[in-house]
Chains A and B, each alone.
Chain A
Amino acid sequence: MQREGSALHGLGVVFIKEVSDHLTSVRMRVLEWLIVLVGIVTVFFTIQEIKESTAEDPFLFLKLFSATQEQRLSFAVFMTFLVPLVAIGLGFDSVNSEFNRRTLSRILAQPIYRDALLFGKFFAGLFTLSVSLVALWLIVIGLGLVTLGLPPNAEEMARAFIFLLVVICYAGVWLALAMLFSIIFRSAATAALVTLGLWLFLTFIWSMLADVIGGAVVTSGDPETQILAKQYLQRLSPSTLFSEVVVTILNPSTRSLGPIYFSQLQGAILGAPLPLSESVIIAWPQMVGMFASMIIVFVIGYVIFQRQEVRA
Chain B
Amino acid sequence: MSENVIEAKGLTKRYDGVTVVKGISFSVASGEIFGLLGPNGAGKTTTILMLLGLSDVSAGEARVLGHDPVREPLKVKRRVGYMPDAVGFYDNLSASDNMRYTGRLIGLERKEREEKIASSLAHVGLAKVADDRVETFSRGMRQRLALAEILMKEAEIAILDEPTSGLDPQATLELLAIIRDLKHRGVTVLLSSHLLDRVQSVCDRVALFNEGRIALIGSVAELGRQVFGGAGFRVEVEAEGQGLTERLAAVPGVRHVEQTGHNRFLLTSDRDVRPEAAAAAVTAGGRLFRLSVDEPSLEAIYTHYFDKMAPQGDQHAA
Decide: B73 and A110 in contact? CB cutoff 8 A: no
In the bound complex, do residue B71 and residue A3 qualify as a contact, i.e. CB atoms below 8 Å apart?
A: yes
> A293–B265 Cα gap in the complex (Å)?
80
CA distance A27 to B146 in the complex (A): 28
- Which one of A1, A3, A106, A112 has the greatest number of beta carbons of chain B within 10 Å? A106
B105 within 8 A of A: yes
Cβ-defined contact, B71 with A311, below 8 A? no
Interface residues of B in 211-270 (CB under 8 A from A): none
A310-B54 contact, Cβ under 8 Å, with A5-B72, A106-B146: yes
* Minimal beta-carbon separation of B4 from chain A (angstroms): 21
User: Quick one: given A1-B70, A1-B71, are A109 and B54 in contact (CB under 8 Å)?
Assistant: yes
- Whether the Cβ atoms of B77 and A101 lie closer than 8 Å is no
Contact residues of B between 59 and 108, Cβ < 8 Å to A: 70-75, 77-78, 80-84, 86-92, 101-102, 104-107
The answer to whether the Cβ of A149 comes within 8 Å of any Cβ in the partner chain is no
Contact B55 A309 (CB under 8 A): yes
0/1 interface trace, chain A 23-66, chain B, CB 8 Å (1 if under): 00000000000000000000000000000000000000000000
Q: Once the chains bind, are B88 and A101 in contact (CB under 8 Å)?
A: yes
What 0/1 pattern do residues 101 to 113 of A give for CB contact below 8 A with B?
A: 1110111111111
> How far, in whole Å, are A142 and B228 apart by their CA atoms in the complex?
85
A111: contacting residue among B77, B84, B91, CB under 8 A: B77
* B49 at interface, CB cutoff 8 A: yes
Number of chain A residues close to chain B: CB under 8 A = 26
- Which residues of chain B are near A110, meaning CB under 8 Å? 77, 102, 105-106
CB nearest to A116 among chain B residues: B105
Give the shortest distance, in Å, between A5 (CB) and chain B (any CB): 4
Q: Label chain B's interface by main secondary structure.
A: mixed
Q: Is the CB of A105 within 8 A of B54?
A: yes
Whether A101 and B107, one on each chain, are in contact in the complex, defined by CB atoms closer than 8 angstroms, is: no
The answer on a CB contact under 8 Å between B74 and A310 is no
Within 84-134 of A, Cβ neighbours of B (below 8 Å) are at 101-103, 105-113
- Given A2-B71, A310-B49, decide whether A109 and B77 contact each other with a Cβ distance below 8 A: yes
The contact of B74 among A101, A103, A111, A309, by CB within 8 Å, is A111
B6 lies within 8 A of chain A by Cβ:
no
> B21 within 8 Å of A by Cβ?
no
Q: Chain A residues near B88 (CB, 8 Å)?
A: 101-103, 106
Query: Does residue B182 face the partner (Cβ distance < 8 Å to A)?
Result: no
Which of A101, A109, A311 has the most chain B CB atoms inside 10 A of its CB?
Answer: A109
User: Is A72 interfacial (CB 8 A cutoff)?
Assistant: no
Which residue from chain B places its CB closest to the CB of A101 in the assembled complex? Answer: B88
B82 cross-chain contacts in A, Cβ below 8 A: 105-106, 109
Q: Could you say which of A9, A101, A310 contacts B91, with CB atoms under 8 Å apart?
A: A101
The docked-state distance in angstroms from the alpha carbon of A141 to that of B270 is: 90
In the assembly, what is the distance between CA of A5 and CA of B132, in Å? 35
B55 and A310 contact, CB distance less than 8 A: yes
- A9 near B74: Cβ-Cβ < 8 Å: yes
Residues on B with C-beta less than 8 A from A101 are 88-91
Provide the residues of chain B in CB contact with A2, threshold 8 Å: 71
Residues of A within 8 Å of B104, CB to CB, are 13, 17
Is the C-beta of A222 less than 8 angstroms from some C-beta in chain B?
no
B206 close to A (CB within 8 Å): no
**A4: CB under 8 A from chain B?**
yes
Contact B52 A17 (CB under 8 A): no
Q: Is A10's CB within 8 Å of the partner chain B?
A: yes
Residue of A nearest to B74 (CB): A5
A contact residues around B73 at 8 Å (CB): 3, 5, 111, 113
Q: Is B45 an interface residue (CB 8 A)?
A: yes
Contact of B72 with A4 in the complex, beta carbons under 8 Å: yes
Residue with the greatest number of chain A CB neighbours at <10 A, chosen from B74, B81, B107: B74
Which chain B residue shows the least CB distance to A97?
B90
- From A2, A103, A111, A113, name the one whose CB has the most chain B CB atoms within 10 angstroms: A111
Q: Is the CB of B52 within 8 A of A109?
A: yes
CA distance A17 to B101 in the complex (A): 7
Instruction: Identify the closest chain A residue to B67 (Cβ).
Output: A4
Chain A residues with CB under 8 Å of B55's CB are 309-311
Contact of B105 among A4, A5, A112, A311 (CB under 8 A): A112
Is A107 a contact partner of B71 (Cβ separation < 8 A)?
A: no
Bound CA span A111–B72, Å = 10
CA distance A111 to B155 in the complex (A): 12
Asked whether, in the complex, the Cβ of B84 is within 8 Å of the Cβ of A106, the reply is yes
Please indicate which of the listed interface residues B55, B77, B88, B106 has the most CB atoms of chain A within 10 Å of its own CB.
B88
Q: Are A113 and B146 in contact (CB under 8 A)?
A: no
Q: How far is the CA of A102 from the CA of B139 in the complex (A)?
A: 13
* A103 and B54 form a contact (CB under 8 A): no
Given contacts A13-B105, A309-B55, contact A4 B71 (CB under 8 A): yes
A17 CA / B82 CA spacing, docked (Å): 21
How far does the alpha carbon of A85 sit from the alpha carbon of B36 in the complex, in Å?
Answer: 48
Interface string of A9-26 (1 = CB under 8 A from B): 110011001000100000
Cβ contacts under 8 Å, B83 to chain A: 106
Nearest chain A residue, comparing its CB with the CB of B79: A111
Instruction: Tell me if B89 and A103 are in contact (CB < 8 A).
Output: yes
Pairs A-B, 5 closest by C-beta atoms: A102-B88, A109-B82, A5-B74, A110-B105, A111-B78
B-contacting residues of A (Cβ < 8 Å)? 1-5, 9-10, 13-14, 17, 21, 101-103, 105-113, 309-311
16 contacts across the A-B interface (CB closer than 8 A):
A3-B71, A4-B74, A14-B105, A101-B89, A102-B87, A103-B89, A107-B105, A109-B52, A109-B84, A110-B77, A112-B77, A113-B73, A113-B74, A309-B55, A311-B49, A311-B55
Beyond A5-B73, A101-B90, 8 additional contacts (C-beta under 8 Å) are A4-B71, A101-B88, A105-B82, A106-B146, A107-B102, A111-B105, A111-B107, A311-B49
